[in-house]
Structure 1
Amino acid sequence: MKNKVTAALIASAMLGCLGTGVYAGSNLQEIKAYLNPGIKFKVDGQPVQLTNSSGAVITPIVYDNNTYLPVRSISNLLGVTVNFDGKSNTVELGEQTEGVSIAKGFDSSYHTKDPKVTIYNGKDYKDVFFDNGSGTRGSSFMLYPEGKYQKLYIQIAAIGEDLKEFTIQDSDTDTVLKKQDVRVEDGLVTIEADISGVKALYVHGDAKSGGSVFIPLTTSYYK
């Protein structure tokens, strides 16, 4: 979809409600507004129905000749992540300013902090996914962004043998978000994938006999 972020930013300027249940604060002002169920919506020329996180239909609110809708409903249609920072009382659209490491909650039998295998090219990454299994095999793990992020950046290196078809996939829909080979000669590379709205990811690749897969978790992150 063209100009997703731009469209979402324009839309957000017109919208008055997050739909997140956040109402605390002293800046709220009571107003008199009207529901207008007659307004219809299209995205890229196709009719759409706006719903909230529970699946209930959203009815536009009209106030002072402007139409207001929850930011989250619009962002979901446009494929742009939205978050609310309660500390700064700020709506965040698209990529977050600070990356969030995938290390938190990471679960895999190849997850290790053993200093014997966390070092790559002289740098100790402390916390890594290091698959040094035997034979030709699938090397895989799950991630759970829970729809909170716009992008995923994974750093990865193939050691000994190239890694074929390293794939980042939406686990719920089986949609492939990114696929590429990782060559030993490339060293540590960063692979980017658009994960807007994705709750669970299946990350996998085809490892050859004699090859290892090295992914530093501390420098791989959501954003």
Structure 2
Amino acid sequence: MKKISFIVLLAATALLLMSAGAFAATKVTAIKAFLNGDIKFVKDGEDWRPKDDRGQEVLPISYNGTIYLPLRVIASAFNFPVAWEGSTQTVKLGEGSTVTNLYSKQVKAEFWSEKSYDIVDKKQLVFEGKQYNGAYAFAAENVGLGWYEGSPNLQLDFGKKYETLHLAMIGQSAMKVRVLNENKQQLAEEISLEEGKVTEIDIDLQGSQQAFVSAYDAANQAEKPLLYVLKDSYVTSDPLPTSR
């Protein structure tokens, strides 16, 4: 399975992941291909339809007797790290890429909460009409306690130092979230989450190997709601862009 998917990844790279700048290069050749909606897919014995990051179905391309799919669609389906470096027109595959998502085996998670889950059941992970493939979830504290040293949190160890953490999160209630490094230094301002809405944000890790994600329930419900840290979140060696 890995060998097959890797071949598809390489083939799809050449056709479907080039930037506008790449098409201006001298080694690019125009082709005539067709979107083929009649093709069916089976993944691990079950019917499967390729979808993009927004949950929209992606039609495969038929060209010269070969079927092609976008690289990121395949990478997401098989939890395979992939990164695009536009400055050098390079696709980076595997753990050596500058981008590592939370599906990676090198990322270790530890919970400090009375309720915590590593969720793999996809039926629980459809948010705003999009299917996600995995998440870490833990119970937030009640607002009355505010922040304290033992606040419920998720500790992430990325295996090595990174510069930027891209977090995708959703809460069962309106929440306040903090992100700290291994020295318990706060890395960004408090993040406000709306109930049931996926929020994505970039955090400057400042060369950290670990991060703590802590949360409390801004609505102060009696039943402590869950915060989902989606495994589509990732870390990268690239620094956070400087605002001008």
**Relative contact order, higher structure (CA 8 A, sep 6+):** 1
* Higher Cα Rg, which structure: 1
TM-score by length of 1: 0.46
TM-score by length of 2: 0.43
